[in-house]
Amino acid sequence: MKLLKLLFVFLLLNSCESKQSISPRFNHVMLSVTDLDASIKFYTTGFDLQVTNTLKKIEVFNEDGSTISRDVNMAFLKFPGQNFVLELSEAPGIIAENPSPFYQHLGVDVLNIESAFNRLKNIGAEVLVPIRLVKADGVEAKQAFFKGPNGEPVELMEIISGNFK
């Protein structure tokens, strides 16, 4: 009976974990690659990462009401039992020495993107992209991009529904 109670408490605590206990947290690093298949092979073979999802299309909903639908070629890789994601994106015309700022960035999961956005603005961080809605493969999220102190892009992401894989 005592073991059953302990098991129940353990299951309850793990199933009721609030999002606050994991926010903010580093969620992913995105790297642009010129050959997605070769990159997947390298990271899965060399480091035992596993492909957890792939994307071919993403929809961006801008503040002004306009919508952009983009074809993409992306893969999400994780170590077994871990949540941190290595996001690989193949983009034609990407130059390894000077990629688009949005194809090399640090992703940070937040509970309240408006609060996190204002906090960064208040410390003088430069806004690259204001808060907008994005949808892809069953995930709906709000995102915004800032420039870090060394020019590095930092993405804020608040998951609204679905699971970022």
**Residue range 130-144: average pLDDT?**
92
Q: Percentage of residues in the chain with pLDDT exceeding 90?
A: 30
Count CB-CB contacts under 10 A for residue 27.
21
Backbone φ and ψ for 13, nearest 5 degrees, come out as -65, -40
Delimit the domains of the chain by residue range: 22-161
pLDDT of residue 21: 52
CA 134/CA 92 separation, integer angstroms? 22
- Name the range with the highest mean pLDDT among 50-59, 84-93, 140-149: 50-59
Residue 138: both structure tokens together = 């069953």
Whether residue 130 has pLDDT greater than 90: yes
Q: 3-state class of 50 per DSSP?
A: strand
pLDDT of residue 13: 32
CA 56/CA 145 separation, integer angstroms? 22
pLDDT digits (tens, 9 = 90+) for 73-82: 999 999 898 8
**Residue range 54-73: average pLDDT?**
91
pLDDT digits (tens, 9 = 90+) for 74-108: 999 998 988 889 898 887 665 555 555 566 777 78
**Residue range 125-150: average pLDDT?**
89
158 close to 112: Cβ distance less than 8 angstroms: yes
Architecture of domain 22-161: Roll (3.10)
Helix (H) and strand (E) counts in the chain: 3, 8
pLDDT of residue 131: 96
**Residue range 17-29: average pLDDT?**
67
